Amino acid sequence: MNGASCAAKISTQPFSLNPTSPTSHDNPLVSPKPTSLFLGSTRKLRLSSSSKLNLHRRSGTVVAVSDVVKQKKSKSTPSLLITKEEGLELYEDMILGRAFEDMCAQMYYRGKMFGFVHLYNGQEAVSTGFIKLLKQQDSVVSTYRDHVHALSKGVPARAVMSELFGKTTGCCRGQGGSMHMFSREHNLLGGFAFIGEGIPVATGAAFTSKYKREVLKEADCDHVTLAFFGDGTCNNGQFFECLNMAALWKLPIVFVVENNLWAIGMSHLRATSDPQIYKKGPAFGMPGIHVDGMDVLKVREVAKEAIGRARRGEGPTLVECETYRFRGHSLADPDELRDPGSHLNPFFSQVQKCHLIQCRAASLAAEKAHYAARDPITALKKYLIENSLASEADLKAIDKKIDEVVEDAVEFADESPVPSRSQLLENVFADPKGFGIGPDGRYRCEDPKFTEGTAHV
Amino acid sequence: MAAMFQGVGAAAALSSLHSNSFDSKNFLFSPRRSFSVRKAPSFVVVRSDGTMNLDLNPEGRRAQQFIANAVATKEDISAASSSKPGHELLLFEALREGLEEEMERDPRVCVMGEDVGHYGGSYKVTKGLATKFGDLRVLDTPIAENSFTGMGIGAAMTGLRPVVEGMNMGFLLLAFNQISNNCGMLHYTSGGQFTIPIVIRGPGGVGRQLGAEHSQRLESYLLPIPGIQMVACSTPYNAKGLMKAAIRSENPVILFEHVLLYNLKERIPDEDYICNLEEAEMVRPGEHVTILTYSRMRYHVMQAAKTLVNKGYDPEVIDIRSLKPFDLYTIGNSVKKTHRVLIVEECMRTGGIGASLTAAITENFHDYLDAPIICLSSQDVPTPYAGTLEEWTVVQPAQIVAAVEQLCQ
């Protein structure tokens, strides 16, 4: 793992694609009148593009994606990217994510949690690499694969596990579930079940940050928002609409694509005309970066630059993290399409199956093995030990500590009460007058028997 | 989205009032008057109490014989204009006034929508606000309803109080994902952690030959969404009051305006006031039958009321204003008094506001009914372009009169 010079290379080249001056209109203390602030694109319309076109034919296999950004090995002694404390923090966060998700799987099959549960195993480097750089006031918006984003942002494991068990002590009082993790305290703005629908919400949070600085004159407000979403989402309209608006208004947001190559059973290559997602950033006027999402230090370096850009008011960045999920799409997904030995693949006729499965089997097996060998936790562990940042004993101590945290979370969730009937109608409205006026002239919410009733109006 | 043009509201109001929507025999002004000879720009103005006069041309004002109705608004019908308190304005100006006052009062209130800023809004509701408050507070968005509505929701969750405008309510169909999934639900799924004090507003309803897609009534599509409130304004007074109340509310509120009502004129108070979001408005107390209506149909009902009074009926007209939740107190008291209910709405028959209201009244006040509830709705057809066909899709005053006569047999 040599992230130092590679990360530096990534950050300089694509950023220069943005021709606008970074500080042209972001100094609220100087601008005299609101209307003099031009809110919009300052790019000139060019008839012929002078940018370099990628004329190489796209390879059909997966390996080509990671080769897009060539790594230059540093000749000199590599300076370490992290201190010991940082290293241990990153390790602990990734171990927490992994252990928690493994426990979720156990609990699911034991009937403690239900519905759709999407696990993050294998992708920990992205969550840890980005979120550990944030302040508490920065916001994170996620998707249904949100447990580990919540944990990285600081939501206690107890609160997340209780939520998954549907208990009233969960972070959302048991009302959200696996796909709707929220935390006001930690500025986790969800948890969304439909892909893409969190991206506009993230754009709104970034808009608020800019509004606070420029309209409300909170000059030190530099809150950044991170929007996490997958490769499948990058074909959705909301993605493109928000790239446009974020770049147009230079919103302090980073769009983080967790490209794990599969959208349930749909391979990214079968769904996307140009699978190189990072290239879509410059089309909207923001830098697009591709990074190895299995390497937490590389992700962290890129994240530093992208988050820094946003904080300085220079606008959004699109970061594509190449990563992989070791498990199926959800705990209900038998993961047979990626399983080389499956005979249940419905897309092949009997005749085709034997031939095609053999060919596909080879490449799918290679894919899984390829990423398993790049387990981000194993890689970080190796880095820490090889660079004498931590000993085996240190890391084992962390493993043990996290095991206890996760066990404690399960215990806590088990012992927590389930929501009572009276909780059903709370939180439908922030102002319960919204339930209206009943036939007796009183607001329904004032009726003490209201909680036993129904919510229809 | 198709091109929208300003002034369509004024022209539509003018022509519809002149020709088809109102039965001109019942009006005491001459239909032979030619509008083209006017020197000053003028337009027919329908006052919120259902009376009508011609504006800016004193010679043209005929002595109106008003039915002596008590009206819920603070109008003094016969007094001279100069000594009356308050100020006169048009409905779209009332909306703007309400919005502007709230923006002055709270710096977190902001507007987002297409052409709300530099263009001033396609119906001029936000005219002048961008110059006053800046491009960030009155944000011109690209044409991406789903995303900018979601952006409004995200902004609301993080401390702002956005007012999102749909240039036409029909365009908000593209924002259905955000309105249904996020606007209504996030307060609940977050366990009460995040509030979404957003106002989503825009003009809808059947206009003047705007075609099927620009003539939609979204109130019936959005009605079942849990966690939102819906109100419909119909007069300058309640437009300003509801706008202010909606902005101040911690709940997400959808404010339905109507394309044909933007040029209604009324005298409204100078002082600060709001209209309660959950209450209905008594337009005309009566004894024989309860007529429940909202938005533009209120004027068709009042038109029919004149005929009914001349025929000896005494209808009670209630503008329900709050489409979700229903004000079952005001409605219930009326049902208990008259025992007969007629609902007049512009929604389509199937699954409309009227359908839901019929169910609510039947459930709660069945014992008080002397006759089955009659619900007059628009036809279940895409609104045709042709004027004659369009006229037949919505409820006309003659049908209202016939329905009351049937109810009171």
Q: What is the pLDDT of residues B150-205, one digit of tens each?
A: 999 999 999 999 999 999 999 999 999 999 999 999 999 999 999 999 999 999 99
Percent helix, strand, coil in chain A, to 5, is: 45, 10, 50
Cα–Cα distance, B360 to B383 (Å, whole number): 28
Region B107-134 average pLDDT: 97
Interface test with B, best of A208, A236, A425, A446 (most B CBs within 10 A): A208
The overall average pLDDT reported for chain A is 83
Q: How many CB atoms lie within 10 A of CB A365?
A: 14
B27 touches chain A (CB under 8 A): no
Cβ-in-10-Å burial (0-12, 13-18, 19+) of B232 comes to buried
A431 touches chain B (CB under 8 A): yes
Write down the pLDDT at residue A447: 83
Report if residue B40 sits inside a domain: no
Cα–Cα distance, A148 to A157 (Å, whole number): 10
Q: Contact at 8 Å (CB) between B223 and B206?
A: no
Cα–Cα distance, B335 to B325 (Å, whole number): 18
Contacts of residue A433 in chain B, CB cutoff 8 Å? 277-278
Residues B208, B319, single domain; the answer is: no
Over 70: is that where the pLDDT of B74 sits? no
Cβ-in-10-Å burial (0-12, 13-18, 19+) of A314 comes to buried
Over 60: is that where the pLDDT of B5 sits? no
Cα–Cα distance, A227 to A399 (Å, whole number): 29
Cα–Cα distance, B150 to B159 (Å, whole number): 14
Report if residue B24 sits inside a domain: no
B174 touches chain A (CB under 8 A): no
Q: Which domain holds residue B311?
A: 281-408
CATH number at residue B301: 3.40.50.920
Please name the residue that has the structure tokens 């990285």.
Answer: A152
Region A4-17 average pLDDT: 37
Report if residue B39 sits inside a domain: no
Residues B312, B238, single domain; the answer is: no
pLDDT category at B32 given cuts 50, 70, 90 is very low
Partnered with residue B315 across adjacent β-strands are B289
Does residue B287 carry a catalytic annotation?
A: no
Architecture of domain A83-415: 3-Layer(aba) Sandwich (3.40)
Residues B299, B222, single domain; the answer is: no
Q: Contact at 8 Å (CB) between A436 and B278?
A: yes
Residues B196, B258, single domain; the answer is: yes
B356 touches chain A (CB under 8 A): no
> Which residues, 6 or more positions from B131, have their beta carbon under 8 angstroms from its beta carbon?
A35
pLDDT category at A57 given cuts 50, 70, 90 is very low
Cβ-in-10-Å burial (0-12, 13-18, 19+) of A296 comes to buried
Of A201, A245, A429, the CB nearest to B142: A245
How many domains, in total, are found in chain B? Answer: 2
Judge if pTM exceeds 0.95.
no
Instruction: Compute chain B's Rg from CA coordinates.
Output: 21
A437 touches chain B (CB under 8 A): yes
Find out whether the peptide bond into A191 is cis, omega within 30 degrees of 0: yes
Q: How many CB pairs under 8 A join A and B?
A: 215
Alpha carbon of B161: minimum distance to chain A alpha carbons (Å): 10
Alpha carbon of B232: minimum distance to chain A alpha carbons (Å): 15
Domain boundary, last residue among B269, B302, B321: B269
Write down the pLDDT at residue A340: 53
Task: List the structure tokens of A157.
Answer: 């494991």
Predicted confidence (pLDDT) per residue in B122-152, tens digit: 999 999 999 999 999 999 999 999 999 999 9
A191 touches chain B (CB under 8 A): yes
Please name the residue that has the structure tokens 């101590």.
Answer: A397
CATH number at residue B184: 3.40.50.970
In B223-327, alpha helices (H): 236-248, 297-310
Predicted confidence (pLDDT) per residue in B11-22, tens digit: 444 344 443 333
Nearest-Cα residue of chain A relative to residue B117: A35
Cα–Cα distance, B250 to B247 (Å, whole number): 8
Of A216, A237, A248, the CB nearest to B107: A216
Over 60: is that where the pLDDT of A371 sits? yes
Residues 72-111 on A with a CB inside 8 Å of B are none
Pick from A82-96, A324-338, A425-439, B344-358: least confident: A324-338
Q: B298, B332, B304: which is closest to B72 by C-alpha?
A: B298
Predicted confidence (pLDDT) per residue in B289-340, tens digit: 999 999 999 999 999 999 999 999 999 999 999 999 999 999 999 999 999 9
B279 touches chain A (CB under 8 A): yes
Cα–Cα distance, A318 to B307 (Å, whole number): 65
Q: If residue A226 lies in a helix (H) or strand (E), which one and from where to where? A: strand A225-230
Q: B171, B109, B225: which is closest to A215 by C-alpha?
A: B109
pLDDT category at A368 given cuts 50, 70, 90 is confident
Does residue B214 carry a catalytic annotation?
A: yes
Write down the pLDDT at residue B140: 97
Among B93, B102, B114, B145, the one annotated catalytic: B145
Cβ-in-10-Å burial (0-12, 13-18, 19+) of A202 comes to buried
Contacts of residue A141 in chain B, CB cutoff 8 Å? 154
Of B160, B277, B329, the CB nearest to A438: B329
Region B109-134 average pLDDT: 97
Question: Do the Cβ atoms of B107 and A440 come within 8 Å?
Answer: no
Residues B136, B216, single domain; the answer is: yes
Question: Do the Cβ atoms of B137 and A184 come within 8 Å?
Answer: no
Nearest-Cα residue of chain B relative to residue A238: B147
Contacts of residue B128 in chain A, CB cutoff 8 Å? none
Contacts of residue A224 in chain B, CB cutoff 8 Å? none
A143 touches chain B (CB under 8 A): no
Partnered with residue B90 across adjacent β-strands are B265
Name the strands in the sheet holding B374-378, side by side, starting at the edge strand that comes first in the sequence: B281-284, B315-319, B289-293, B341-348, B374-378
Report if residue B14 sits inside a domain: no
Region A43-51 average pLDDT: 50
Write down the pLDDT at residue A39: 75
B101: left (phi over 0), alpha (psi -120 to 50) or beta: alpha
Please report, for chain A, the start and end positions of each structural domain, with discontinuous segments joined by +: 21-75, 83-415, 421-451
Residues B250, B104, single domain; the answer is: yes
Pick from A331-340, A436-445, B80-89, B108-117: least confident: A331-340
- Helix (H, G, I), strand (E, B), or coil: what is residue A81? coil
Q: Contact at 8 Å (CB) between A322 and A376?
A: no
Interface test with B, best of A38, A233, A241 (most B CBs within 10 A): A241
Residues B217, B354, single domain; the answer is: no
Backbone angles phi, psi at B6, to 5 degrees: -75, 160
Nearest-Cα residue of chain B relative to residue A210: B136
pLDDT category at A365 given cuts 50, 70, 90 is confident
Predicted confidence (pLDDT) per residue in A122-176, tens digit: 999 999 999 999 999 999 999 999 999 999 999 999 999 999 999 999 999 999 9
Partnered with residue B317 across adjacent β-strands are B284, B291
Write down the pLDDT at residue B245: 98
Residues B161, B286, single domain; the answer is: no
Domain boundary, last residue among B235, B269, B303: B269
A159: left (phi over 0), alpha (psi -120 to 50) or beta: alpha
Predicted confidence (pLDDT) per residue in A185-242, tens digit: 999 998 999 999 999 999 999 999 999 999 999 988 999 999 999 999 999 999 999 9
Kindly state the percentage of chain A with pLDDT values over 90: 68
Find out whether the peptide bond into B325 is cis, omega within 30 degrees of 0: yes
DSSP state of A123: -
Q: Contact at 8 Å (CB) between A451 and A438?
A: no
Cα–Cα distance, B228 to B115 (Å, whole number): 25
Report if residue B10 sits inside a domain: no
A238 touches chain B (CB under 8 A): yes
Report if residue B396 sits inside a domain: yes
Residues B237, B309, single domain; the answer is: no
